[in-house]
Amino acid sequence: MQPRPYYHLCKSLSDEPPQPVWSKNVVLSAFRPDMIAELHVLLTASYQAVGNIVPPLRDWWQALSNDEEYDAGLIFPVTDIQGQLIAFAHCWSSAFIKDIVVHPDWRRQGIGEALLLHCFQVFQLRGAENVCLKVEGNNPFGAERLYRRLGMVDI
């Protein structure tokens, strides 16, 4: 049997999620429109590392921002103390984590976990029962392991 191309994982939000723990060297920032190009660069590099392609900036942003589930308040950039973008999560209004990306130089420092826990909290406050995402089965960055460790299960 061939492996599945991706896993669809969800987490129940019936219990309060743990508080995210942020490194002293990073800042969860508010999304600003002037970050769009930086988000695209980070996302493109991450997707290319696993053999996927992100459309060119203009096409990507137009499709994203015109989607019925788009909400700028659900883009969660993380910067270093100099203000450089190092990670972000982007979620749809349906309590779906569309993308979560951490720059390679910042991986294995708890940023992905803190971002994920932040997303859980945001959707619990919005009244969502579950939060979901998809992850490729061949993701080399340990994403699936992280998601499962934080209580996400196959649906």
pTM of the model: 0.92
**What is the CB neighbour count within 10 angstroms for residue 136?**
16
- pLDDT tens sequence across 120-154: 999 999 999 999 999 887 766 678 889 999 999 99
**What is the CB neighbour count within 10 angstroms for residue 148?**
15
Q: pLDDT at position 1, please?
A: 42
What 8-state DSSP symbol labels residue 67?
S
**In this structure, what token pair is assigned to residue 72?**
């700028």
Q: What is the largest CA-CA distance in the chain?
A: 48
Q: Which domains does the chain have, with CATH numbers?
A: 6-154 (3.40.630.30)
